Amino acid sequence: MNSLFLVFIGGGLGSLLRFLISTLVLRLKATSNWFAVATLSANILACVVVALGMIYISKHASPDDLKLKNFLIIGFCGGLSTFSTFSLETLHMLQNGQHMNAIINVLLNLLFCGLTLWFIFKSVGFSG
């Protein structure tokens, strides 16, 4: 199957899941002072999928078979995670004088996403 098509379909599904996460978080949101919980949640979930996908691919796919990687890692996780939204939300916090929230947002995204990958890779002895 064409790599472009796989990335396209994966990206669409990842974007759809990101939208559903955002919708759910907005419905559960009790106050407008929450930071970007939907973006953080989507980014962490994408890191889980990336880690598990890379582990699976390294054990079950031939080096020449990029179909699953194109669909799952590049497409799905690319659509699900969102650096641009994270950056925009952080910028809005800074522009609104919410400097501490902006710093916390950056730290939470970097720490939780990095630790998620590290923990999953470490727990199965995967070196990437």
How many domains does the chain fold into? 1
Binned at pLDDT 50, 70 and 90, residue 26 comes out as: confident
Question: Considering the domain boundaries, does residue 12 fall inside one?
Answer: no
Verdict on whether the full-model pTM lies above 0.85: yes
Q: What is the phi/psi pair of residue 94, to 5°?
A: -65, -45
Of the CA atoms within 13 Å of residue 112, those in its CB half-sphere come to 16
Question: Considering the domain boundaries, does residue 80 fall inside one?
Answer: yes
% of the chain surpassing 90 pLDDT:
74
Question: Considering the domain boundaries, does residue 125 fall inside one?
Answer: yes
Question: Considering the domain boundaries, does residue 110 fall inside one?
Answer: yes
pLDDT in tens, 29-72: 765 656 689 999 999 999 999 999 999 999 888 766 789 999 99
CB 91 within 8 A of CB 98: no
Question: Considering the domain boundaries, does residue 46 fall inside one?
Answer: yes
pLDDT in tens, 71-125: 999 999 999 998 999 999 999 999 999 999 999 999 999 999 999 999 999 999 9
Identify the domain containing residue 124 by its residue range. Answer: 42-128
Question: Considering the domain boundaries, does residue 5 fall inside one?
Answer: no
Question: Considering the domain boundaries, does residue 20 fall inside one?
Answer: no
Distance CA 75, CA 60 (A): 19
pLDDT on residue 30: 60
Question: Considering the domain boundaries, does residue 57 fall inside one?
Answer: yes
